[in-house]
Structure 1
Amino acid sequence: MAILIEDGLFFGLAFQHNIDFLLHPVAFYRDNSFPSWQHFVITRALDNQIYMLSLNRAGNEYGNPIFCPLWIDYNISPTILKEHEDVIIAEIDTDIIQKVREEYRFREDRK
């Protein structure tokens, strides 16, 4: 199941609606805080054990959307897109979702 919601509301919805993928539209401007938003996305994806695609507004003052899997290790990393418009094709493997959630029980720790 995928759900599109406003920034900041997904934390509880990952559990209430049992989502596996989140489309996260944002408009992070290239100021001093710009480098932090991708780390925020990675943390939320891992913490909630969901795939996240955080789409930043296009243009010279924005850019660099990020696709983050629900688990990162030495072989798996997030995909950070270019500054300008770009297209990626990604496949979400539901078997991996279940495996990660069984092996790393972050969701149970939140109860």
Structure 2
Amino acid sequence: MNAQPECPTDTDPLVLDGELTIYTAAETAARLRAHLAERRVCALDLSGISELDGAGLQLLLWLHETLRARGGTLRLVAYSPVVAEVLSLLHLTAQFDLDSAGATVGGAS
């Protein structure tokens, strides 16, 4: 799992790519905690995610709930077909607002 260096503003997306799985969850969680330290809004680009398992999904749910508890927002600005498929199968597309006009599907299946 790779992430770009911290973004300078709340509106610049944090790009995650590769696997979002049990094998990368701890490292990704640490990066997300650092990214969220002073933010209430997180724009997330998941267009490069090639695999998403239960641990990765838990991380996305944690991020969503953490921001909501702070009065903030999680925006998925782009997502891969893998992310869309998992969220759709679990009926979470509305929670992550995948149907919004701002979110675009990217990446390869």
Asked if Structure 1 and Structure 2 have the same fold, meaning a TM-score greater than 0.5 normalized by the shorter chain, the answer is no
Query: Which has the higher Rg, Structure 1 or Structure 2?
Result: 1
With a CA cutoff of 8 Å and minimum separation of 6, indicate the structure with the bigger relative contact order: 2
- TM-score, normalised to structure 2, is 0.41
Pick the structure with more strand per residue. Answer: 2
